[in-house]
Structure 1
Amino acid sequence: MSLKTETVPVQPSRVQNWFKFDARAYTMIGALIAIWVLFSLLHERFLSPTNLSNLFLQMSVTAILAIGMVLVIVAGHIDLSVGSLVGLVGGVAAMLNVWYDWPAIPVVIAAVALGAIVGFIQGWIIAYKAVPAFIVTLGGMLIFRGVLFGTTGSVTVAPLSPGLKAIGQHYTSDIIGWIFGIAGLLLAAVLLLRKRSSRIRYGFDVEPLAVSLLRMVVTGALILGFVAVMNSYKGIPVPFVMVVVLALIFTFITRNTTFGRQVYAIGGNPEAAKLSGINIKRRVLLVFVLCNTLAAIAALVLTARLNAATMSAGQNYELDAIAACVIGGTSLIGGSGTIMGAIIGALVMGSLDNGMSLMNMESFWQYIVKGGILVLAVYVDIYTRNRKKA
């Protein structure tokens, strides 16, 4: 008579569950901290308030583009036109403002409307005519750059009016900065407590109150510390405030709306999404409208920051946006990705650019390093997925 032994799976302890986290997300944060530590050791000015303010200002355009690109990639598509669209919309905005004396508000409305219209046209061709997004947006990339050259005569359009320039160059006052910081702290606390109460309501394990309070203290210290550092220079850059607001809006859309859940369903399994009654064509169309509208907002920020529309504006920005998404954990095969991950990815890209510029490294090294990191991020994504399947 043989004795059979059963293997009992090892359950994670309750303490492990309390500190359960997305390994990919915390790896990105660890990589970002490592980059900051490295450059701070190599150059004393890297962590200075002045340079950190410039860093958050510079990464804002990539971050705004990455927010829209997350939606496109999660839905199983790609948009190669956003960089050229940034150049075109920025050129149109500058022409209206400089050549035709349009005030700032009408220029902003016209620029955002142009982005939405372009997104509607591209999205309609992709969704309703079944032309691959790669081809449509590749064609758009060439068309938009050509239209920019043709309409501006290949000349720089400058300077902008003070009202329009403020979008990319102004900073919040100290008081407004602290108001934003306190509001962010309260929002983080409310979200954490709501999540905790929801788990209690549905009978899930809940971490001790002390652990939740520790999370709030750490989050609050980071938020208020950020505000203090920014206020020690000029204040929080307005473009970065826009990034935070857009990130919160689109995080809510992706997590808490039917549209957001349907976008993830379309990218994860298109056939199942279709059988469940999701109008895939309409959702894909809306995804491209949102992505190109955000590209128009990024164009306004970039043009205002430069105080001019240049012919090279937005060049290769689509690659930076895609890289930020992938580094931030968005899968290129669709179905997974987060807005906050893309923001961290954009910050990683911006930190590399900023640090290597401070070190006076040749520009080709920036391309090599960013390209290598992109390949590594895709490899990690594929490796992680294969391990889950095994």
Structure 2
Amino acid sequence: MTDTATAPASPRTGWKALDLDTRLLGMIGAFIVIAVAFDIASGGRFITPRNLFNLTIQTASVAIMATGMVFIIVTRHIDLSVGSVLATCSAVMAMTQTAIMPDMLGFGLGHPLTPWVAIAFGIVAGAVIGGFHGYLVGYLAIPAFIVTLGGLLVWRNVAWYLTNGQTIGPLDPTFQKFGGINGTLGVTGSWILGLAAAAVAIWALWGARRSKIAHDFPVKPVWAEVAVMAIVTGGILGFVALLNAYQVPSRVLQRRFDAQGLTMPEGYTEGYGVPISIVLLIAVAIVMTVIAGRTRFGRYIFATGGNPDAAELSGIDTKMLTVKIFALMGVLCAISAVVASARLTNHSNDIGILDELRVIAAAVIGGTALKGGIGTIHGAIIGALIMQSLQSGMAMVGVDAPLQNIVVGSVLVLAVWIDIIYRKRTGARD
């Protein structure tokens, strides 16, 4: 591969020429250490296709909200209500499917419109709740900590009243497909997605290189760029291969063939593939990354987080920006509610409990600075994966629930301390 224009060569040589994100490598390394440690402790049960498949679908809901929490924390706010907002959105969607649509429109479970109308209602509810929080914070100058602490109590109990404290289910079959195991792409669809994602990643990396060349910025050597592309491609296709390796139990396949009046061929197997919830997470991650790096809204978010006073003096409407950020957080809570309730196949009163801790911890572990101005979407997603790995691993080896929470809380404090040390040593702004 050749470049059509010359650019300053990278002064680094060897592996340093790859110019990899050391923080990202550290988080990936931490996940690998956690996975290996729990695999040894559990007798080889942690690093298996089945467990890693379950780990991904358990991570999706928190990871989706963590991408929004990055924007909240970057602008020097906090949202303690995300788990309760998720519960309210879940209750709205469950009641829409089981009561509102059948009674008012005559559409019951299984009707083609049922899941989509329910999801639309949930997203609107999340946006309104989030926007209301943002109004209280931005225009009435009530600290976000207080507003969302109140929201934690209010919306959890609003969800209880919406359902009269009852578990609502089962939910619509199509709706349940967003939960993970009830809805996957299958082996062929997963490979198509993986190859498409790899192609897009290569195109994006090479496009970024050409953009740097066009603006006379230094770039990596071509071999280093190709090596990074190979690493990314290998990671994507390896992830797909891992999920495809998880086989559908033979009894489940037998029931499918019996329902269709067919005979299952002897020795027939089928892989689950990539869950639809993960496809949804990937879509959210792409959209949030584009917003953060390629839109005026994203630039305003990071500018406001870096220096709120300067941002306001430069003409940014920080009050309306706050409303938009919290409304976006509410929408992401609703999307997470779809994933969480679909995975459970019902709405329950305890859905989303302690998600506040998990979401904030995921964002902070992923490198989002509590003092604002710094944060990445991919970091928050990996942070969510690390948090879920800790909890799943401890549950697998028989650690009591109270001790699990002690460990998670300690990891959060440790992550902030390591972040402070990292920023001091690298000269990053605190």
Name the TM-score class by shorter chain: over 0.9
- Measure, in 2, the Cα distance between the counterparts of 1:93 and 1:287: 23
- Measure, in 2, the Cα distance between the counterparts of 1:330 and 1:295: 19
Which residue in 2 is equivalent to 1:140? 151
Q: 1:106 aligns with which of 102, 110, 117?
A: 117
Which residue in 1 is equivalent to 2:134? 123
Which residue in 1 is equivalent to 2:281? 243
Q: Could you give the per-residue CA deviations for residues 247-285 of structure 1, whole angstroms, max 9, x where no partner exists?
A: 011001101111101100101101111121111111111
Contact preservation (8 Å) 2:367, 2:375: yes
1:55 to 2:55 alignment:
yes
Q: Could you give the per-residue CA deviations for residues 303-343 of structure 1, whole angstroms, max 9, x where no partner exists?
A: 11101111111111011000000000001111100000000
Give unmatched runs, 5+ long, in structure 2: 1-9, 108-113, 247-271
For 1:1-390, list aligned pairs within 5 A: 13-15=12-14, 18-43=17-42, 44-100=44-100, 101=102, 103-168=114-179, 169-233=182-246, 234-387=272-425, 388=427
Q: Give 1:85 shift.
A: 0.8
Q: Give 1:67 shift.
A: 0.8
Contact preservation (8 Å) 1:18, 1:206: no
Q: Give 1:22 shift.
A: 2.9
Contact preservation (8 Å) 2:18, 2:228: no
Q: Could you give the per-residue CA deviations for residues 157-178 of structure 1, whole angstroms, max 9, x where no partner exists?
A: 1111212212213111222111
- Measure, in 1, the Cα distance between the counterparts of 2:148 and 2:348: 21
Contact preservation (8 Å) 2:59, 2:385: yes
- Measure, in 2, the Cα distance between the counterparts of 1:166 and 1:16: 43
SS in 2 for 1:329: coil
Q: Normalising by the residue count of structure 2, what TM-score does the alignment of the two structures yield?
A: 0.85
Q: Could you give the per-residue CA deviations for residues 131-163 of structure 1, whole angstroms, max 9, x where no partner exists?
A: 111111111111111112222221111111212
Q: How many pairs are equivalent?
A: 380
SS in 2 for 1:54: helix
Which residue in 1 is equivalent to 2:261? none
- Measure, in 2, the Cα distance between the counterparts of 1:61 and 1:369: 21
| Amino acid in structure 1 at the alignment position of 2:274 | I
Give unmatched runs, 5+ long, in structure 1: 1-10
Q: Give 1:207 shift.
A: 2.0
Which residue in 2 is equivalent to 1:4? none
SS in 2 for 1:204: coil
- Measure, in 2, the Cα distance between the counterparts of 1:118 and 1:141: 12
- Measure, in 2, the Cα distance between the counterparts of 1:30 and 1:76: 28
Query: Identity across aligned pairs (percent)?
Result: 41
- Measure, in 2, the Cα distance between the counterparts of 1:118 and 1:85: 8
- Measure, in 1, the Cα distance between the counterparts of 2:11 and 2:228: 21
- Measure, in 1, the Cα distance between the counterparts of 2:172 and 2:296: 41
Q: Give 1:206 shift.
A: 2.4
- Measure, in 1, the Cα distance between the counterparts of 2:131 and 2:293: 24
SS in 2 for 1:292: helix
Q: Structure 1 residues 385 and 219, CA, compared in 2 at 3 Å: closer, same or farther?
A: closer
Q: RMSD of aligned C-alpha atoms?
A: 1.7
SS in 1 for 2:384: helix
Q: Normalising by the residue count of structure 1, what TM-score does the alignment of the two structures yield?
A: 0.94
| Amino acid in structure 2 at the alignment position of 1:37 | V
Contact preservation (8 Å) 2:127, 2:327: yes
- Measure, in 1, the Cα distance between the counterparts of 2:19 and 2:198: 22
- Measure, in 1, the Cα distance between the counterparts of 2:218 and 2:146: 48
